[in-house]
Amino acid sequence: MDMCSGPLFSKILIFALPIMAMNILQLLFNAADMVVVGRFSGSEALGAVGATGSLINLIVTLFMGLSVGTSVIVAQDYGAGQQEAVSRSVHTSIAISIIGGLVVMVVGIVFCEPLLKIMGTPEDIINLSVLYMKIYFIGMPATMVYNFGAAILRAVGDSRRPMYYLVIAGIVNVILNLFFVIVLRMSVAGVAWATVISMYISMILIMICLYRSDGAIQFIPQKMNVDRQKLKSIVKIGLPAGLQGLLFSISNVLIQSAVNSFGSVMVAASSAAGNVESIVGTSMIAYYNAAITFTGQNMGAKKYDRIDTIAKVCTVLIFITWIILGGATWIFSKSLLGLFTSDPEIIELGMLRIKVMMVAFFTCGMMNVYPGLTRGMGYSLLPMFCTLVGACLMRIVWLATFFTWYPTVVMLFACYPVTWALAGIGQVGSFFYARRQIRRCYVPEAEPVNL
């Protein structure tokens, strides 16, 4: 896809749709874990798997953020036509993903139990949660390699093949879920092993793709090493993105701890509702990936005018997604939650969370997508600070004040839209600041920008 010329709306949409489909499919495959254990192993198993989500994100998000640096650097090199630089970025990124995956695996296995205890995970589910996490982290090296490989492909305009590979791995995951849980009666351990196997399948497929690719993104095992210059560039963009995700995950862990205080039924309800809501959230993340890639390539090509149009298109798409998917999630929330459990109390509490979240979910999109535009221009610290203050710090303040004064479920979940809005305002402001800095060295392009 030529991202540096021609109409942007259609190209961004065509690029984002496979990522959106991939994200939703990944959610559905992950949700299959909870559906299977919820239906065939009971509410305790459902709560045990759900209680691990925020902690898993906390442990893995720092290294995953480096894949953002990969996407930006490869896109900028590709847009500038620097083929040798693209190749060095590719081989450095794969090396980073392998090292990072091994580190995260060890950290996750060693520290999952004490961290779950610190979070106040209910006693009736903590042993199952520990078992799930220890098995899950065995697949972390594969997840890291897949995500870095997918970032490389997206950076050069290929958002379809990562989706295909995820579909194949996801189908295997669902089949193994059913076999391990229903036939072998493995419960939580069964869905964990099914997930690990699917992780390695997706890794193998993405590496075969890169190995067989033509041109600069081809992976040649003998060339894999850590190029210091490229590592510095990737870390410059990716480390703040990873720290932002880490700080965000810490705030989510604190909220999960507050959820845990309401008992295992509330944990199960919140986990099921979170899976339903994530369909809308991950759809918007597709625009974040598009924003990074399109902005990065146009920065490399020095076509700065097109960045304004990319921002406008992404904003329109955020609102369209919120209205269509957010509205559908609100309307069909009871039926969607019914896929996870037949317990009416869990469904009722889950519906309450969904209604609070969907009211202003477009602010979540703004908070998530605008950092992609800013990072694509090479500014990565600004989005991190906005998330630190607007989301992480304000969530802590909210929990220490409003939730402490009025310790209700509604007051707890209201923390999300309030902090999304605050962080979103900061992210939009960061984009305009970065754009103004870029324009100081701007030479107008003769080519008009079309929608």
CA distance 383 to 360: 21
Task: Report the run of H or E that residue 187 belongs to, with start and end.
Answer: helix 187-212
Residues 14-26: what's their mean pLDDT? 82
Residue 401: pLDDT band with limits 50, 70, 90: very high
Q: What per-residue confidence (pLDDT) applies to 198? A: 92
pLDDT above 60 (res 437) = yes
Q: How far is CA 280 from the centre of its chain?
A: 12
CB–CB of 442/382 below 8 Å? no
| pLDDT (tens digit per residue) in 149-159 | 998 998 888 88
- For the ranges 124-133, 186-195, 244-253, 303-312, the lowest mean pLDDT is seen at 244-253
CA atoms within 13 A on the CB side of 297: 22
CA nearest neighbour of 1 among 121, 189, 141, 157: 157
pLDDT above 50 (res 20) = yes
Token pair of 60, please?
Answer: 């893995």
Q: What is the 3-state secondary structure (H, E, C) of 347-416?
A: HHHHHHHHHHHHCCCHHHHHHHHHHHHHHHCCCCHHHHHHHHHHHHHHHHHHHHCHHHHCCCHHHHHCHH
pLDDT above 50 (res 235) = yes
Q: What per-residue confidence (pLDDT) applies to 316? A: 94
Q: What per-residue confidence (pLDDT) applies to 441? A: 65
Residues 180-185: what's their mean pLDDT? 85
Residues 221-243: what's their mean pLDDT? 85
3-state helix, strand, coil split of the chain in percent (to 5) is 85, 0, 15
Q: What per-residue confidence (pLDDT) applies to 442? A: 58
| pLDDT (tens digit per residue) in 117-141 | 887 878 878 888 899 889 999 999 9
CA nearest neighbour of 276 among 338, 210, 184, 322: 338
Token pair of 201, please?
Answer: 């399948």
* Average pLDDT of every residue of the chain: 85
CB–CB of 24/283 below 8 Å? yes
Of 62 and 419, the one with more pLDDT? 419
Q: What per-residue confidence (pLDDT) applies to 277? A: 87
Indicate whether this model's pTM tops 0.85. Answer: no
| pLDDT (tens digit per residue) in 87-102 | 998 999 999 999 989 9
pLDDT above 90 (res 162) = no
Residue 25: pLDDT band with limits 50, 70, 90: confident
Residue 317: pLDDT band with limits 50, 70, 90: very high
Q: What per-residue confidence (pLDDT) applies to 141? A: 93
Q: What per-residue confidence (pLDDT) applies to 440? A: 75
Q: How do the domains of the chain map onto residue ranges?
A: 9-439
Residue 40: pLDDT band with limits 50, 70, 90: low
